[in-house]
Amino acid sequence: KVESVPTEKSLPLVRTIQAQPEDVLWTVRSQGTVAPRTESDLIPEVSGRVVWVSPKLVSGGFFNYDEPLLRIDDRDYAAALARAEADVARANSEAQHAASELKRQQGLARSKANSRSQLSDALRADRVAQASLKAAESQLGVAQRDLSRTEVRAPFEGRVRQEDIDVGQFVSRGTPVATLYATDFAEIRLPLADRQLAYLDLPSLYTAGEGIDLPEVRLRARFAGEDHTWRGRIVRTEGEIDDESRMVNVVAR
């Protein structure tokens, strides 16, 4: 016969502590693609034949702020500047003569030695001469700017993404010749789910830098067989929720 033997209950051992509330640092994970903060096309503001190209204006080349990148033949623009300077000198002489004649006619008018029409003609000639001088000075400014624009300079410190220009080519005003991007900052769009937003103080409803510290970001990537780490901060959120993924994109810099 099978004998019934009562089993002994083995109670598990537990350790108890008194819970204390404390702050917990919550980590939110995401991923994105690095993009330059500033990227723009290099566009000449004058037309002409290219006579010099910087050796740094090649794909992957680095350049400094305000560094010359290419030069356009400036002989026509130098001639236009010389004509504008001559026009200013001529208009200035005419304006001085008209002012002197007006002053003389006003003196004669006080002694009633001339007619009213002579005074009116002198006044009109003075105004026309002053207007011509202003127009000539304005044209001189245009000629000076056009001449200075024959040397195309870098608008910021950065790197060349691609270029399509060489010595001897004719470039037209407003035609892109290269694509540049800045290297001072990099930005990354990081998508976050709605449930993750509760753990971050995001700069969405205030101007960045006001009130609270911006959330810190640690960026990791593997490049050339090595692991690299960078530190940044969330600087802004995009102004809408993605219609397809229902994610909010934040921008880390």
Give the burial string for 52-81 (b: 16+ CB within 10 Å, else e): ebbebbeeebebeeeeebbbbbbebbeebb
The whole-angstrom separation of Cα 150 and Cα 171 is 11
Confidence of residue 115 (pLDDT cuts 50, 70, 90): confident
Q: Which of these ranges, 55-69, 75-89, 162-176, 235-249, has the smallest mean pLDDT?
A: 235-249
Confidence of residue 105 (pLDDT cuts 50, 70, 90): confident
Label residue 125 left, alpha or beta by phi (over 0 means left) and psi (-120 to 50 means alpha).
alpha
Tell me what the mean pLDDT of segment 51-79 comes to.
95
Q: Is the model's pLDDT at 208 over the cut of 50?
A: no
pTM for the model stands at 0.73
What confidence tens digit (pLDDT) does each residue in 131-164 have?
999 999 999 999 999 999 999 999 999 999 999 9
The whole-angstrom separation of Cα 69 and Cα 63 is 8
The whole-angstrom separation of Cα 153 and Cα 67 is 5
